[in-house]
Amino acid sequence: MKAALAGANGELLHLARRATGRERGPDAVVEGILGFAAELRAYGIERFGEPAAAAGVAVPGIVDEERGVAAYAANLGWRDVPLRALLGERLGGVPVALGHDVRTGGLAEGRIGAGKGADRFLFVPLGTGIAGAIGIGGRVESGAHGFAGEIGHIVVRPGGALCPCGQRGCLERYASAAAVSQAWAAATGDAGADAADCAKAVASGDPKAVRVWRDAVDALADGLVTALTLLDPRTLIIGGGLAEAGETLFTPLREAVRRRVTFQKLPSIVPAALGDTAGCLGAGLLAWDLLEPTDRTEVAT
């Protein structure tokens, strides 16, 4: 878990980290979050002379932002946890916002990170899986049921590899950091080889690595072109482990997207800027939005 005290324009005043303790079960994780938040609040009073005016929290899985309920998180064992109410209680009744981890991280990247004030952006982190956040007018679209932005489950190879979601040929089976690690391990026969090793081998011109990398970039470009055809974003922000490959990824990716579009306008394709603090900075922005419920795109530009 990352937790922060954030100023009105999203500036980081204090950052702390600790383990979720999920091996102790779902309730212990909830209690851990509540305790962590309470400690942060106490630290804020001591350090800045007043308590935080609002709180934001971002969690994985399926999130009902309107009701403030963490509806489902397989890796935490959560079902219908009323986090917003619990946190409000623990923090002396301040307003609390609940967000989805990727959408919240995307909000921060779009407003104060790589997209800085972009009115329309798409944030796509390439990690264990591939998720997405659709930014529109300073906010992130969550969809009617909390599923908007799941670009990793766009089918790019019909009839292809089976995905845990139940479909075949999903983008994340080909272009996530995990998928590239798996493909590179298979190509080299070294079970410990990962996507970062593959990127290094690509940079040094290893033809086997170049093939693995090209397959991933092609799949990613196919998925991204579907997304930008629907959304027409101004900025496409790519994050997660795979984006750490830098130009080894971005140069061929921009080229692959450019080759595919016909009438669509090309967005600028840029690396994420906030790293693993994006989620907690975004939660801070959600909290500030509760106090100033206006379009804050202007503030960031």
- Contact residues: Zn ion, CB under 5 A: 153, 163, 165, 167, 170
Closest CB 163 distance from Zn ion, rounded Å = 3
Cβ closest to Zn ion, residue 167 vs residue 226? 167
Closest CB 167 distance from Zn ion, rounded Å = 5
Where does residue 301 rank: exposed (0-12), middle (13-18), buried (19+ CB within 10 A)?
exposed
Cβ closest to Zn ion, residue 158 vs residue 205? 158
Cβ closest to Zn ion, residue 51 vs residue 160? 160
Closest CB 216 distance from Zn ion, rounded Å = 16
Closest CB 250 distance from Zn ion, rounded Å = 25
Dig out the tokens for 293 from the structure. Answer: 């419920």
Instruction: Give the C-alpha separation, 154 to 134, whole Å.
Output: 15
Q: Give yes or no for a contact between 45 and 85, defined as CB atoms under 8 angstroms apart.
A: no
Where does residue 143 rank: exposed (0-12), middle (13-18), buried (19+ CB within 10 A)?
exposed
Cβ closest to Zn ion, residue 118 vs residue 151? 151
The DSSP code sequence of 131-161 is: --EEEETTEEE--SSS-TT-GGGSBSSTT-S
Cβ closest to Zn ion, residue 115 vs residue 169? 169
Closest CB 269 distance from Zn ion, rounded Å = 23
